[in-house]
Amino acid sequence: MNGNERFDVGDASLIQELIVSGIEPLRSWDLSLNDLNNNNKLDSGDVIRILRVVVGFEKQPNGNKGNDGNEHWRLTHHKPSRHIAKAAPGPIAVISPTDLGDLKPGQEIEISVSLKDVPAQFRGVSFNLHFPEDLMIPKNGLFSYRPGDIVPQSAVKIWNPENEERGAISFAASQNEPWPLMNGAVSKITFVVRELIAPQASWSLAVSDLEISYNGYDNIILDNGYGELKTGSLHPKPEFAEFGFLDGDIAVVVDGSGGNVLVEYSEDFADWYPLITIPNTKGMIQFNDPSSLEAMMRFYRLKSFVRPTAPPRWTLEPGTGGRVVGGEGGEGGNSELLPPSKVGPIVPGP
């Protein structure tokens, strides 16, 4: 639409304008280039399709996937002072509160992403919020997200929560005419602090790729904005202590730390799934994974948690072995797989 060889909130706002105002006269390329859902007309589906690309549900035409994992780590695991350069005059992205200290497990905090010093009205905005996933998670998935005070009720709004467990949330909003308010909160997200099983006590929040489209054609991408998070005392980070096999199943021993632990598994290091939650780990905790026989290979990692964003397949309650809370059979545990159980001693693997 706006000729910059990628989809952005400016393109979405221009299509919204065409939908409202109509196309007169109709040019050959108006439909061929902008009818993204292929129904021979311009409609809200085309707008949503563009915004889905902007927030990362779908790829850009040039195949760009955005920041990689190393960039996310740099943005969230270093102190903000390492990132901040002297900003040029003009609009800035702001995270508030800018400094949160002495965070406690289970504490809820609301983070706002705002605009400051924007000189003129605009029609769309998008950004990526990076947060330390080892420390905090959105309290309740999409119910944790709210549009900010300056976002018009009539604007089309979309969040992408797919990368929550990797510490990233994307947002985009646009409409066919200028927003009445230029400065203030664009989005507000409520987080909950995990059990403090973490490798450090100081973290960063970062908003990156915040883009404003003034009229659909004139876009500006702002410098990154940062906030700082500080925790109180930490539990030692849990570690895997021993691997082995029991009755054909893999058995894992966790060197616990006194906090709650979520065990996740993956078969490709890209997609991770919750397997089992272990509350109040102390000393050596043992469990197995009956479903591992279905996979050619499987990898595991430990994460602290207050409440997982997605329910694990199993939860381990002290003194009771495994109890099914979900899985293939849904709530109630009507799965054919047996739940993990406390095991041991285990036989060393090959």
Between 312 and 7, whose confidence is greater? 7
Tens digits of residue pLDDT in 312-346: 444 444 333 333 333 333 333 333 334 444 333 43
Question: Are residues 244 and 305 located together in one domain of the fold?
Answer: yes
Identify the band that residue 166 occupies on the pLDDT scale cut at 50, 70 and 90: confident
Kindly state whether residue 2 falls inside one of the protein's structural domains. no
Q: Hunting for tokens 């899985």 — which residue is that?
A: 327
Residue 110, pLDDT above cutoff 50: yes
Say how far apart CA 274 and CA 263 lie, in whole Å.
6
Kindly state whether residue 170 falls inside one of the protein's structural domains. yes
Question: Are residues 227 and 243 located together in one domain of the fold?
Answer: no
Question: Are residues 225 and 245 located together in one domain of the fold?
Answer: no
Question: Are residues 259 and 197 located together in one domain of the fold?
Answer: no
Which residues have C-beta within 8 Å of that of residue 121, sequence separation ≥ 6? 178, 179, 180, 182, 214
Residue 20 burial (CB count, 10 A): 10
Identify the band that residue 130 occupies on the pLDDT scale cut at 50, 70 and 90: very high
Burial class (CB in 10 A: 0-12, 13-18, 19+), 37: middle
Of the residues 203, 231, 259, which one is the last residue of a structural domain?
A: 231
Question: Are residues 330 and 192 located together in one domain of the fold?
Answer: no
Kindly state whether residue 95 falls inside one of the protein's structural domains. yes
Between 204 and 288, whose confidence is greater? 204
Question: What are residue 243's DSSP bridge partners?
Answer: 252
Say how far apart CA 174 and CA 163 lie, in whole Å.
22
Question: Are residues 253 and 117 located together in one domain of the fold?
Answer: no
Of the residues 231, 261, 278, which one is the last residue of a structural domain?
A: 231
Most confident of 31-40, 71-80, 142-151, 282-291: 142-151
Question: Are residues 29 and 164 located together in one domain of the fold?
Answer: yes
Q: What is the DSSP letter of 292?
A: G
Of the residues 167, 199, 231, which one is the last residue of a structural domain?
A: 231
Residue 121 sits in a domain whose CATH number is 2.60.40.680
- Distances in Å between the Cα of 182 and the Cα atoms of 110, 179, 214, 345 are 22, 7, 10, 64
Mean pLDDT of 138-149: 89
Kindly state whether residue 4 falls inside one of the protein's structural domains. no
Q: What is the pLDDT of residue 291?
A: 77
Q: What is the pLDDT of residue 279?
A: 66
Of 7-21, 137-151, 297-311, minimum mean pLDDT range: 297-311
Kindly state whether residue 211 falls inside one of the protein's structural domains. yes
Considering the entire predicted model, what is its pTM?
Answer: 0.66
- Could you give phi then psi for residue 28, rounded to 5 degrees? -60, -35
Mean pLDDT of 243-253: 65
Kindly state whether residue 1 falls inside one of the protein's structural domains. no
The domain total for the chain is 2
Question: Are residues 250 and 219 located together in one domain of the fold?
Answer: no
Question: Are residues 139 and 191 located together in one domain of the fold?
Answer: yes
Whole-number percent of the chain with pLDDT over 70: 61
Question: Are residues 107 and 206 located together in one domain of the fold?
Answer: yes
Say how far apart CA 334 and CA 258 lie, in whole Å.
31
- Could you give phi then psi for residue 313, rounded to 5 degrees? -70, -30
Kindly state whether residue 248 falls inside one of the protein's structural domains. yes
25 preceded by a cis bond (ω within 30 of 0):
yes
Q: What is the pLDDT of residue 199?
A: 56
Parent domain of 130:
9-231
Question: Are residues 83 and 105 located together in one domain of the fold?
Answer: yes
Residue 186, pLDDT above cutoff 90: yes
- Could you give phi then psi for residue 72, rounded to 5 degrees? -60, -45
CB 129 within 8 A of CB 169: yes
CB 214 within 8 A of CB 123: yes
Question: Are residues 153 and 283 located together in one domain of the fold?
Answer: no
Q: Output the average pLDDT for the chain.
A: 74
Tens digits of residue pLDDT in 58-88: 888 776 554 445 677 777 766 655 444 445 5
CB 313 within 8 A of CB 274: yes
Q: What is the pLDDT of residue 342?
A: 39
Say how far apart CA 265 and CA 347 lie, in whole Å.
21
Kindly state whether residue 207 falls inside one of the protein's structural domains. yes
